[in-house]
Amino acid sequence: MAMCTILRCASVSLTSSLPRLSNRNALTPARLLARTCYKRALSTTTRFCAALKFTDKHEWVRVDSGVATVGISNFAQEALGDVVYCGLPEVGTKLSQSDEFGALESVKAASELYSPLTGEVTDVNDALADNPGLVNKSCYKDGWLMKMTVSIPEELDGLMDEAAYERYIKSIED
Amino acid sequence: MILRLLNRACVLSGSVRLKSTLSTFFDEMGKSGIILKSATTGIFENLALEDWIHDHVDLQNRSMLLSWRNSPAVVIGRHQNPWQECNLPLMRRLGIPLARRRSGGGTVFHDFGNINMTFFISKKKYDRHRNLKVITSALKALRPDLEVAATDRFDILLNGHYKISGTAAKLGRTSAYHHCTLLCSVDRSVLSSVLKSNTSEVIKSNATPSVPSPVRNLLDVDPTLDSDTIMNAVASQYSNEFGFDGPVITVDPSHEALMPGIHKMAQDLQMWEWIYGRTPKFSVCSSLVVDDVTVKLDMDIKNGAVEQCAMEIPEDWLPSEMVNEFTSALNGSKYCPNEAAVLVAAFTRTVSVTADVAEKIHRLCAGVVSVM
Q: B183-202 pLDDT, tens per residue?
A: 999 999 999 999 999 998 89
pLDDT tens sequence across B213-227 = 999 999 999 999 999
Output the pLDDT for position A24: 47
pLDDT tens sequence across A35-73 = 444 444 444 444 445 689 999 999 999 999 999 999 999
ipTM (interface pTM) = 0.82
**3-class DSSP state of A49:** coil
A84–B contact, CB cutoff 8 A: yes
Chain A CB contacts of B55 below 8 Å: none
Phi first, then psi, for residue A103 (nearest 5°) are: -150, 150
Most A-contacting residue of B60, B167, B173 (CB-CB within 10 A), to test interface:
B173
Rounded to whole angstroms, how far apart are CA atoms B321 and B325? 6
Please choose, from the candidates B367, B369, B368, B324, the residue with its C-alpha nearest in 3D space to the C-alpha of residue B347. B324
pLDDT band at A11 (very low <50, low <70, confident <90, very high): very low
- Non-local (6+) Cβ contacts of B147 within 8 A are B158, B159, B160
Mean pLDDT throughout B359-372?
90
Output the pLDDT for position B245: 77
Q: Residue A173: closest CA among chain B residues belongs to which residue? A: B124
Decide: B77 and B104 in contact? Cβ < 8 Å.
yes
Most B-contacting residue of A108, A114, A134 (CB-CB within 10 A), to test interface:
A108
pLDDT tens sequence across B35-89 = 999 999 999 999 999 999 999 999 998 899 999 999 999 999 999 999 999 999 9
Contact call for A109 and B104, based on CB within 8 A: yes
Mean pLDDT throughout A75-91?
93
Which residue among B78, B176, B178 places its CB closest to the CB of A105?
B78
Q: Mean pLDDT for chain B?
A: 90
A24 or B275: whose pLDDT is higher?
B275
Burial of B50 (0-12, 13-18, 19+ CB in 10 A): buried
Output the pLDDT for position A162: 94
Å from B149 to nearest chain A CA?
19
Output the pLDDT for position A64: 92
Output the pLDDT for position A107: 83
Output the pLDDT for position A28: 52
pLDDT at B273 over 60: yes
Interface of A with B in 41-70 (CB under 8 A): 57
Please choose, from the candidates B175, B145, B138, B126, the residue with its C-alpha nearest in 3D space to the C-alpha of residue B23. B175
Which residue among B104, B176, B178 places its CB closest to the CB of A105?
B104
Output the pLDDT for position B344: 86
Q: Residue B124: closest CA among chain A residues belongs to which residue? A: A172
SS (H, E, C) A80-141: HCCEEEEECCCCCCEECCCCEEEEEEECCCEEEEECCCCEEEEEECCHHHHCCCHHHHCCCC
